[in-house]
Structure 1
């Protein structure tokens, strides 16, 4: 039963949210009240949240790395644990970095990274048209470009061998485990953003297979995976000619693999070599 749109006390909203299983009902109620423009709009937002729509889809935005990122219905919601990946990338990025955000979803990762870099050149791509439409709102506003297509296919050829930081928030949930995900993800986010194939690494293998072609010498590919999958992911990276290492955050329960293209050797005429 919906609340009357003419009278929406915060206590009643909290009660409804709690009954629907929202753990942080008080915080969510404050956000919904702050975002709603009218009592009718607030009632509709509460109804959508109680029906199981992710809070970020109800609000139309997610907070990520201190930014307010637009997130449309059906688009993957950036997770807080992925902030660790962005922090790791920020440490590695050189001045005036060329950044690519593959499987970009809303474009949150790239937007958060370039927000802390100086004069970055950056691009984002996703295969999902809904994600691309959403990403354009975040990426273009931050000075980037967005392309629609499968992984590297839509990227400008001029980026080959120039990418300093390649973010790839690939789907890594094994197909058989999709049904174990919370309904907020399983029902309301695009399957293409979740399903990583039989072992969760199908998309990752395609990313690493071509990464060396796109990365600059010494450039880095960063992707998130589970702790359980990390050893296989590292093997995949090494087979494709990249140098892997694993970074973890206990605080955020995050595992990130960093794969580096070897730098060019110092040959005759370079750095004083003979």
Structure 2
């Protein structure tokens, strides 16, 4: 049976989650980016276009090629970009691990929340390295679900997070890939690799993040794997609801949640 590397599915709820996530994390994920007019940017794995519209807005004079394996997501991404009126983006279907992208065609490559879903991230990064012009740069941003720590600590809450990690592992992905970015990029042929953690910490002193991150991003991401967890036989409705309820206790007074993204930069 062919593995489906994207455990969340392609429904409207997940598309909405991805857009909300991109808006909430824009300043964390895109800080310090600056590209001159005419820069050829390859967005590898554009998904529903959540990051595409940010790139198109922040760099209106760049030329952006956004690729994805999913025709469903490509159609959504193109529609989203058109709705904002951006004209500096073109789209193409591509399997990052199997498709030879135009060699030495990009000045910069942007990869965000993609490698965790790919069974062969090493092959994908090697393809991307070949597509980068000498002296070009790459930005790779990934989460690391194993970095999540919370209070109150609960085996039920830990169970639903571990279900997401296990599902990605079974599909050939890696929900903890953030911690692997340095060796992956080095082995793919990139140089001057630097990896910086981008942590998010939430408690009652950060009320804007209680709903904005815990509920709309973190819990929504975990919840998106609910049905897949049942189908895989690694959870059941009773245990799942107990776990989500336990995660929501981190939103209450005295509750806390920590999660870290990782942002890697490198050159060819």
**TM-score, normalization by structure 1:** 0.50
CA contact 1:169–1:223 (8 Å) conserved in 2: yes
Does the CA-based 8 Å contact 1:90-1:113 persist in structure 2?
A: no
Q: Does residue 164 of the first structure (1) align with residue 170 of the second (2)?
A: no
Match of 1:91 among 32, 47, 53: 32
1:171 is displaced (CA, Å) by: 5.1
| 8 Å Cα contact 2:115/2:177 also seen in 1 | no
Deviations, residues 231-259 of structure 1 (Å, cap 9, x unaligned) = 32321111222213123132463412313
Aligned-residue offset at 1:155: 7.8
Equivalent residue of 2:46, what SS? Answer: coil
Mapped to 1, the partners of 2:90 and 2:99 lie a distance apart of 11
Give the alignment's Cα RMSD to 1 decimal.
3.5
Tell whether the 8 Å contact from 2:29 to 2:263 is kept in structure 1 after alignment.
no
After superposition, the C-alpha distances for 1:195-253 in whole angstroms (9 at most, x for unaligned) are 44xxxxx3422222222222231412323131443332321111222213123132463
Segments of 4+ moved more than 4 angstroms: 152-156
d(CA) in 1 for partners of 2:26 and 2:188? 21
* Unaligned ranges ≥5, structure 2: 1-8, 148-175, 202-212, 214-258
Q: Could you tell me which residue of structure 1 aligns to residue 122 of structure 2?
A: 205
1:106 aligns to what SS in structure 2?
coil
Question: Is 1:142 matched with 2:142?
Answer: no
Conservation of the 8 A alpha-carbon contact between 1:104 and 1:169: no
Distance of 1:232 and 1:57 partners within structure 2: 30
Q: Which has the higher contact order (CA 8 A, sep 6+)?
A: 2
Partner residue in 2 for 1:51: none
- Residue 59 of structure 2 corresponds to 117
**Contact residue 221 and residue 258 of structure 1 kept, 8 A:** yes
Report deviation, 1:146: 0.9
**Residues 1:57 and 2:12 aligned together:** yes
- What is the CA-CA distance between 1:94 and the residue it aligns to? 1.7
**2:74 paired with 1:132:** yes
Aligned length: 167
The corresponding residue for 2:220 is none
The 5 A counterparts of 1:204-243 are 204-216=121-133, 217-226=135-144, 227=147, 228-242=176-190, 243=193
Distance in 2, matches of 1:160 and 1:133, equals: 26
Unaligned runs of 5+ in 1: 1-53, 63-75, 173-194, 197-201, 263-274
Q: Does 1:80 align with 2:30?
A: no
More helix by share: 2
Normalising by the residue count of structure 2, what TM-score does the alignment of the two structures yield?
A: 0.51
- Larger Rg: 1 or 2? 1
